[in-house]
């Protein structure tokens, strides 16, 4: 039983079969100029309800860092949550790709930013060339604590930065999970709410190497071909990326996979809530469950082969551990049931 991450599970068979079919072609145009890459542009434009420019890359760190490099120069600043993936889990790659651009961090409940906090932080950058010039805002949907930004919340943040000419980036590593949780359209959650560029993730939701940088403000993409190449994110046999993305989007595979993962997270959350030894630390919106349990229970279930992470959290008692559980499109439902039964027995 493994709830450490949605990255630990394999590839959706439909996506794997699409790569096998791509391999059956004797030759294809290289370096992401294949017909499949053009079809990805067209399909994502259809999904988002407007013309977009989409660039396939190999991982989420590359997608985020490249997207930020397109909106922030070397002397600029990108504002984000202090626990955001770009700040805590990407080994300074955003700063590297921005050539020295600065991440400016803030706190916020549920790993979400509030407009008032953002406005206050921006007010501290009014000393001209003596500080980083505010160029971008980056938000994560779903957040690092599994919460989602609604379109209204995204719009409120965009309205804070737009008068300054700043651009808005969304880290959508779990974009599909956030979308099905909200029940809104892709357009409502992105460009209609003020998002200029999206890191559109698929690896966590059934892909093998499946990420894209999607520009709604297409002027930002003018030199992106060069940025992607310079950073080693251009794949020579690009047909294997486009084949994955087209299969992911076909027949709404991406949405069905996200719904299943989210549904299993709800089952897990309700089961943990029923225990007298576990309490949830925040609401469950997508496919991540965060809970506080006694260290003795944590040790006991880990000893029985259940895998999940302890996660940073303030205010814990000495004998408590804060835990993260992640469900996947491929998580066996019986693993969730068996784990909850184990918790009941140990409680």
What residue ranges of the chain have pLDDT lower than 50? none
Q: How many C-alpha atoms does 194 have within 13 Å on its Cβ side? A: 23
Under 8 Å between Cβ of 71 and 197: yes
Under 8 Å between Cβ of 340 and 268: yes
Closest among 193, 116, 105, 89 to 148, alpha carbons compared: 193
Question: For residue range 325-341, what is the model confidence (pLDDT) as tens digits?
Answer: 999 999 999 999 999 99
Closest among 55, 343, 10 to 197, alpha carbons compared: 55
Grouping H, G, I as helix, E, B as strand and the rest as coil, residue 77 is strand
How far apart, in Å, are the Cα atoms of 130 and each of 100, 125, 133? Answer: 15, 9, 9
Under 8 Å between Cβ of 273 and 67: no
pLDDT at 127: 83
All domains in the chain, ordered by first residue: 13-253 (3.40.640.10), 259-346 (3.90.1150.10)
Question: For residue range 79-130, what is the model confidence (pLDDT) as tens digits?
Answer: 999 999 999 999 999 999 999 999 999 999 999 999 999 999 999 998 889 8
Rounded CA separation 99/93 (Å):
10
What angle (nearest 5°) sits at the alpha carbon of residue 213, between those of residues 239 and 231?
A: 80
């Amino acid at each position: 039983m493994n709830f450490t991450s949605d990255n630990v599970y394999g590839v959706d068979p439909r996506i794997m079969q699409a790569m096998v079919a791509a391999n059956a072609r004797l030759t294809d145009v290289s370096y992401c100029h294949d017909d499949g890459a053009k079809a990805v542009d067209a399909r994502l434009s259809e999904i988002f309800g407007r013309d977009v420019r989409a660039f396939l890359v190999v991982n989420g760190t590359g997608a985020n860092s490249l997207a930020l490099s397109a909106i922030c120069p070397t002397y600029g600043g990108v504002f984000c949550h202090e626990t955001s993936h770009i700040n805590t889990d990407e080994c300074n790659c955003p700063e590297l790709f921005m050539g020295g651009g600065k991440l400016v961090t803030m706190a916020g409940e549920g790993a979400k930013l509030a407009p008032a906090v953002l406005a206050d932080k921006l007010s501290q950058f009014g000393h001209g060339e003596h500080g980083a010039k505010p160029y971008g805002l980056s938000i994560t949907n779903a957040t690092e604590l599994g919460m989602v930004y609604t379109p209204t919340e995204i719009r409120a943040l965009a309205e804070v930065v737009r008068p300054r000419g700043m651009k808005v980036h969304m880290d959508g590593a779990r974009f599909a999970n956030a979308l099905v949780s909200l029940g809104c359209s892709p357009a409502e959650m992105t460009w209609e709410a003020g998002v200029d560029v999206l890191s559109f993730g698929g690896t966590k939701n059934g892909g093998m190497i499946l990420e894209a940088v999607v520009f709604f403000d297409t002027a930002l993409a003018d030199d992106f071909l060069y940025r992607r190449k310079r950073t080693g994110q251009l794949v020579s046999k690009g047909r294997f990326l486009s084949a994955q993305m087209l299969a992911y989007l076909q027949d709404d595979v991406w949405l069905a996979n996200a719904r299943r993962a989210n549904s299993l997270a709800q089952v897990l959350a309700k089961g943990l809530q029923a225990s007298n030894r576990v309490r949830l630390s925040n609401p469950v919106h997508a496919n991540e469950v965060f809970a506080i349990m006694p260290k003795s229970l944590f040790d006991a279930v880990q000893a029985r082969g259940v895998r999940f992470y302890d996660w940073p959290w303030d205010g814990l008692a000495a004998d408590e551990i804060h835990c993260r559980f992640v469900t996947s499109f491929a998580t066996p439902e019986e693993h969730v049931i068996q784990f909850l039964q184990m918790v009941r027995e140990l409680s």
